[in-house]
Structure 1
Amino acid sequence: MREQLKAIAAEFRGEVRWDEPMAQHTGLRVGGPADLYIEPADLPDLRWAVAKMEEASIPYTVVGAGFNLLVRDGGIRGCVISLKALDAVKPMPGARLEVEAGVFNAMLCRIAAEHCLSGVEFLCGIPGTFGGAVAMNAGAHGWETLQRVETLTTLLEGELKVRKAGELEFGYRYLKLDPREIVVGAKLRMEPAERRVIEETMSSYLHIRGKSQRVGFPSAGSFFKNPPGTQAWRLIEQAGLRGTTVGGAQVSEVHTNFLVNRGGAKAADLLALAALVKVRVKEQSGVDLEEEVRIIGEG
C-alpha cells in the first residue's frame, strides 16, 4: 500500500505529510500516526484524490479540525484527508450563505455577522469546522446545524450529490449518510438582522460557554451525548466522578462531560476513563451513556 500511496502523492496538488502524528490534529492532543496525511488544495483535488484511493482500494478517513475526534494510539492505516483548505463562504441572494466544509465555525459566524445575516450564532463557541458541525448535527442554545441547511452537498463515489433539507434524515447529534460520503458544503437559510444584535447574541453565548466549559486542558468538547430527558454531565457528577483520573486523562473538574488531557495522556487513558464513566453511570442511574466523540484508528 505504501507504494500505491507514493504514486498518488506524487500527482497530488495539495499538502502531503508522511507518518503524521494525529495528536497534532485533534483537540485532545492524542493519537498515533497516519500513514499518509493530505490536505486537498480545492474540491477538484479532493475528488481526484478520493477517486485514486478508491481505484487502488486504499482506506481513507476524512477529518475536519479534529475537535470531536479521538484517534487511538496505533494511528490510522491508509490516508487521512483533511478538508481545511475548503474554506470559502459565499453570500447569496435571499439571505443565503454557501459554506464549504473546511470553514471554521467561528469564521462562519463572523462573516454572517458582517453581512447582517442571523441564524448561526449558536455555532460561535463550538470549536471545529462547519463540515464537522453538519456531519454530527452540532447544536447549542436550542439550535442545531441542520435546521439551517437548505441544501447539502456531499461527495460519494466520485460524484457530487446535492440534497434538499427535506431529503435528509437527521436528529440529535446525528445525520444519516453513507459511510463513504463526504460533506463538502451546504447552502444555509439565514435571516436579515442588525449586526449589533447578532454580535450581542454571540457575545452572550460565548460568555455562557466560557463560564461552564473553559476547562483549561485539551479536550474534545462534550464526550457523551445527553440521554433523553437529562444531561450527561449531571449523571457523571451524580456518580461522583468529577476529577477522576486514568493516567494523564481526567474527568474535568470544571465540566464533568469533558474528558481532558492533563498532560502526557494516551488515547488508551481516555478510552479507559470513558469506559469507567459509562460503568459508574450505569451503576448509579441505570443510564447507558453513548459517546458523542468519534473514535477511530487502531489500538
Structure 2
Amino acid sequence: MSFPDLLQLYPELEDGVRGRLTTNQPLSAVTWFRTGGPAQLMFQPADEDDLSAFLAKLPRDIPVLPVGLGSNLLIRDGGLEGVVVRLSAKGFGSIEKMEGNRLSAGAAVPDKRLAEAAATAGLGGFAFYTGIPGGLGGALRMNAGAHGTETRERMVELTAIDRDGKKVVLSNSEMGYAYRHSAASRNLIFTSAVFEGIPQNESAIRGEMSEVVAHREKAQPIREKTGGSTFKNPPGTSAWKEVDAAGCRGLTIGGAQMSEMHCNFMINTGTATGYDLELLGETVRAKVLAHSGIKLEWEIKRLGQFGTQGAIKPFLGQEGEAA
C-alpha cells in the first residue's frame, strides 16, 4: 500500500531542508526482521538544527516517529502514517571523550560502538552494550540492558528535540527509568547523551566484551532475521522458560518461528510478514497465559497500521486482552 504524498500536500516542508526526504519509503529495508509497510514520509536530517527547523514547521496533526537501527522493531504491513525520522551516522554518530570519566555520543551510534570507544578510553561499565544489537537512541528510550547492567546506570543526561523543534535536556532522574522502560515523552526525539564510566584497565574491559560476544554467539540466533528478545522477563522468572514450558519452542506460523536456539527470539525464516510475526507473538502469549497464568509483555515495539489481513488482538482476544 502507499500513503498520500506529504510533500505534494505540504510543499513548504522541503524549504531549507539539508537532509533527505523520501515519500512512501519501504521500512522492510531498515528493520532487522526485514518486514513492514512504508513510511508515509521518511526524513533523515543532516544534523540537530536541520531536525529542529523541520519539526518547527511540520503541521501538528502529522504524527512523528523516530526509528533507529530497527533491531527491536516490528513494523506492521500497513506501514506508518506521518513522518518517520531516521538519524544518520554522519549527523548523529559521533563519540567524544569528555573530562573525567564521561563520553558524549550521538543517538545514531550503535551500542557496540560505544562499548568499543569506552574500552579504548579505559572506561569500564559499558561491556554489556557489546551484546545489544541496536542504537543508543533506542537504548536510551527503553533502558536497554544485558548481563546485569542497564542504560540508566551509565547515562548522565541526554539531549532531545521536541515536537515544536525546541531543544530539551533531561537528567537521568527525569527519565523515570524502570525495567525496559522510560517515562520520557513520546514527543521527544533523542539526539545525543552523556555517559559516565568507571576507570578500568583496557585489557580487562576487552576480556569482558569477549565474554559477552561468546555468550551471545552461543545462546542467541544472531545470524537470523530477528528482533532480539521478544518478551520482557516477568517477575520471578524468565520469558524463555515460560515460552518453553508452554510448548512454544520452534512454534511456526507462516514464515515466522520462535527460535529453537533461544525460544524468546522470533525469527523471520525468509517469507514472514509483519502479520505472521505478530500473530505468532500473540499466539505464544495466549499459550503461556493458558499454561501458567502469566501475561507476557512485549519487549519488541510493534508499530504502524495492520494490512489487508486485518488486526490481531492481544492474547488472540482471550482473557487478559487488556494487559
Q: What's the TM-score bracket when you normalise by the shorter of the two chains?
A: over 0.9
Distance 1:57 1:225, change over 3 A: same
Name the residue aligned to 1:134: 140
Name the residue aligned to 1:45: 50
Name the residue aligned to 2:309: none
Name the residue aligned to 1:253: 260
Q: Please tell me the residue identity of whatever aligns with 2:118.
A: A
* Residues 137 and 172, structure 1, Cα contact 8 Å, conserved in 2: yes
2:184 aligned with 1:177, yes or no? Answer: yes
Secondary structure at 1:240's aligned position in 2?
coil
Match among 114, 120, 129 for residue 108 of structure 1: 114
CA distance in 2, matches of 1:222, 1:284: 21
Distance 1:216 1:164, change over 3 A: closer
* Residues 84 and 103, structure 1, Cα contact 8 Å, conserved in 2: no
Deviation readout 1:165-189 (Å, 9 max, x if unpaired):
2333111000001121122221111
* Residues 249 and 269, structure 1, Cα contact 8 Å, conserved in 2: yes
Q: In the TM superposition, what is the alpha-carbon distance from 1:5 to its structure 2 partner?
A: 4.8
Match among 96, 101, 111 for residue 95 of structure 1: 101
Q: In the TM superposition, what is the alpha-carbon distance from 1:127 to its structure 2 partner?
A: 0.7
2:155 aligned with 1:149, yes or no? Answer: yes
Secondary structure at 1:187's aligned position in 2?
strand
Name the residue aligned to 1:124: 130
**Structure 2 length-normalised TM:** 0.89
Secondary structure at 2:272's aligned position in 1?
coil
Q: Please tell me the residue identity of whatever aligns with 1:123.
A: Y
Q: In the TM superposition, what is the alpha-carbon distance from 1:10 to its structure 2 partner?
A: 5.0
Residue pairs, 1:223-262, within 5 angstroms: 223-262=230-269
Secondary structure at 1:154's aligned position in 2?
strand
CA distance in 1, matches of 2:223, 2:47: 34
Name the residue aligned to 2:13: 8
CA distance in 2, matches of 1:56, 1:152: 24
* Residues 12 and 49, structure 1, Cα contact 8 Å, conserved in 2: yes
* Residues 65 and 84, structure 1, Cα contact 8 Å, conserved in 2: no
Secondary structure at 1:171's aligned position in 2?
coil
Name the residue aligned to 1:168: 175
* Residues 25 and 65, structure 1, Cα contact 8 Å, conserved in 2: yes
* Residues 83 and 102, structure 1, Cα contact 8 Å, conserved in 2: yes
Structure 2: where are the runs of 5+ without partners?
A: 1-5, 307-323
State the identity as a percent: 39
- The range that moved more, 12-21 or 168-177, is 12-21
The total of aligned residue pairs comes to: 298
Structure 1: where are the runs of 5+ without partners?
A: none
